[in-house]
């Protein structure tokens, strides 16, 4: 007789039914299927979900629960240390197998290794699956059999590999485990903000869940892909995919995106430039996880060791002004307020606000990384760490340290009419476009006509860009050798 002990499949950052290799394999195993999600309580300081991530997780799990209920099943919720909870659940139901999808965060990799050993010792079948990336980090190496440290040759190597496999569908049949089990409720976990409820802008901006992810991909392809290469840098335009939170939580797989874009590209060559540009951004996501896998201290330590000696400053007042969008630089403040209201910030603006913090204010990049981790709905350990180190100049394939974004010239170039600024910094909405990028240069008559009193209605610049740029270059000169 076939073994009818249950197979446990634990959802992680793969909150979808479609193109989920681990779920499909579990459903085909011939065993009763027990589906669970563990709210992992990792060691304090080891990157638990931030506030924005908790909000998204609550919404996404709610959608997943509804989808499973419609299929006749349920999602068992447990809270605690991930490996310990799965071991306890396996004992509780006398499981014959435990499946999960791979994660790449250092603590997750250690937990997977520990759990695998414990389950194997009990004689329980263990299977781990990919699906979160297009290419596993072990697969892409240099001719010297070393991990890549520079993005462009890394991505070229990826493109020379066999194309990512076609995405799978949903399991055709579920044989759900029928036993009674204790389960937390989402409400028990208190993931949503209440006092105050700061998530109103999130609800207006996003539709978490597998269906929302598929709709966002379709919207992007139909409306923005053709001009993506040019429009992706204009923060006032809907020129980016906004798929990053859906990808982070695994509501859609990178393979689904890859093959959907290839399919539409085959029927419309005019999409070529935009498609290549967007797929390159998927490649950057791959590269970040490649770095995190091979250099697991990336979120805490500078990739380039010389930056351990960098003379960072402790300036809590400046950090707070930056967090609150009160720097006096309109484009910076617009970005930080967009982040607070929607849980997301335009990528071009992310680079500019990061440059101000680490280079003009000399605040350590880890402080910016931590703020983004708490406030971004797409907070992703690999991308967040690699992105901040890229801007700081301390990372792999980093921007040259002397590249210090000027928030005024960037604003004039990428938001020439001030549309983005006026949306998020309404104090300046009545200023003519010619003055909105640097209101301190506006004649007093223009400021009065716009109802702007600098230092009262809107702050003066927190620092002088030119002087602090030179200060940053001088600081770098001390460590570069």
Contact 291, 396 (CB under 8 A): yes
Among candidate residues 347, 406, 412, 446, the one labeled active-site is 347
Choice among 136, 276, 281, 412 that is catalytic: 281
User: Which one of 47, 371, 388, 390 is the catalytic residue?
Assistant: 388
Tell me which of 48, 84, 136, 284 is the catalytic residue: 284
388 counts as catalytic: yes
Q: How many residues belong to the chain? A: 481
| Residue 365 appears among annotated catalytic residues | yes
Q: Phi and psi of 79, rounded to 5°?
A: -130, 135
Over the range 109-120, which residues count as b (16 or more CB within 10 Å of their CB) and which as e? eebbeebbebbe
- List 198, 312, 340, 440, catalytic entry: 312
Contacts 24+ apart (CB under 8 A), 266-269: none
- Region at 380 (left for phi over 0; alpha for psi -120 to 50; beta for the rest): beta
For residues 327-359, one letter each, b for 16 or more C-beta atoms within 10 angstroms of the residue's C-beta and e for the rest, the string is bbbbbbbbbbbbbbbbbbbbebbbbbbbbbbbb
Please report which residue ranges of 143-294 form alpha helices under DSSP H: 151-159, 186-189, 200-205, 210-223, 228-231, 244-248, 254-266, 272-294
Report the distance separating Cα 262 and Cα 268, nearest Å. 10
Any catalytic annotation for residue 371? no
Q: For residue 312, indicate whether it is catalytic.
A: yes
Q: Which of 47, 365, 371, 390 is catalytic?
A: 365
Containing 121, the helix (H) or strand (E) segment is helix 106-121
Please state, in angstroms and rounded to a whole number, the distance separating the CA atoms of residues 197 and 334: 21
Annotated catalytic residue 206: no
- Rounded Cα gap, residues 33 and 21, in angstroms: 14
Catalytic residues: 281, 284, 312, 347, 365, 388
């Amino acid at each position: 007789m076939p073994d009818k002990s249950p197979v446990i499949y634990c959802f992680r950052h793969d909150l979808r039914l479609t193109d989920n290799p681990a779920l499909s394999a579990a459903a085909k195993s011939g065993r009763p299927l027990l589906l669970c999600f563990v709210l992992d309580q990792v060691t304090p300081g080891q990157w638990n979900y931030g506030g924005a991530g908790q909000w998204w997780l609550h919404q996404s799990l709610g959608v997943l629960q509804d989808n499973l209920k419609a299929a006749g099943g349920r999602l068992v919720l447990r809270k605690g240390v991930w490996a310990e909870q799965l071991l306890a659940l396996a004992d509780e139901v006398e499981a014959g197998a435990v499946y999960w999808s791979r994660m790449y965060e250092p603590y997750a990799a250690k937990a997977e290794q520990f759990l695998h050993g414990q389950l194997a010792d009990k004689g329980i079948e263990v299977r781990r699956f990919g699906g979160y990336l297009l290419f596993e980090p072990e697969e892409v190496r240099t001719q010297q059999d070393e991990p890549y440290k520079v993005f462009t040759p890394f991505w070229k190597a990826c493109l020379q590999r066999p194309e990512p496999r076609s995405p799978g569908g949903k399991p055709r049949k579920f044989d759900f485990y029928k036993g009674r089990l204790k389960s937390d409720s989402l409400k028990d976990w208190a993931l949503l903000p209440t006092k105050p409820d700061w998530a109103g802008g999130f609800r207006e901006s996003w539709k978490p869940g597998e269906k929302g992810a598929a709709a966002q991909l379709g919207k992007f392809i139909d409306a923005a892909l053709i001009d993506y290469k040019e429009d992706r840098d204009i923060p006032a335009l809907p020129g980016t995919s906004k798929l990053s939170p859906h990808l982070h939580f695994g509501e859609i797989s990178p393979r689904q995106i890859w093959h959907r874009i290839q399919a539409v590209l085959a029927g419309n060559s005019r999409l070529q430039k935009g498609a290549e540009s967007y797929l390159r951004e998927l490649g950057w996501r791959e590269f970040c996880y490649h770095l995190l896998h091979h250099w697991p201290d990336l979120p805490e330590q500078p990739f380039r060791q010389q930056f351990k000696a960098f003379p960072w400053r402790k300036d809590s007042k400046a950090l707070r002004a930056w967090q609150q969008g009160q720097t006096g630089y309109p484009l910076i403040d617009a970005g930080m307020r967009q982040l607070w209201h929607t849980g997301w910030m335009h990528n071009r603006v992310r680079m500019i606000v990061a440059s101000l913090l680490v280079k003009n204010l000399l605040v350590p990049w880890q402080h910016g990384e931590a703020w983004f981790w708490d406030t971004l709905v797409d907070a992703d350990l690999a991308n967040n760490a690699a992105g901040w180190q890229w801007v700081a100049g301390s990372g792999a394939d980093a921007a040259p340290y002397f590249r210090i974004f000027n928030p005024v010239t960037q604003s004039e170039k990428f938001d020439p009419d001030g549309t983005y600024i006026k949306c998020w910094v309404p104090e300046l909405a009545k200023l003519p476009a010619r003055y909105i990028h640097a209101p301190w240069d506006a004649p007093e008559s223009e400021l009065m006509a716009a109802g702007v009193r600098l230092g009262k209605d809107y702050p003066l610049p927190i620092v002088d860009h030119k002087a602090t740029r030179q200060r940053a270059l001088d600081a770098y000169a001390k460590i570069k050798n």
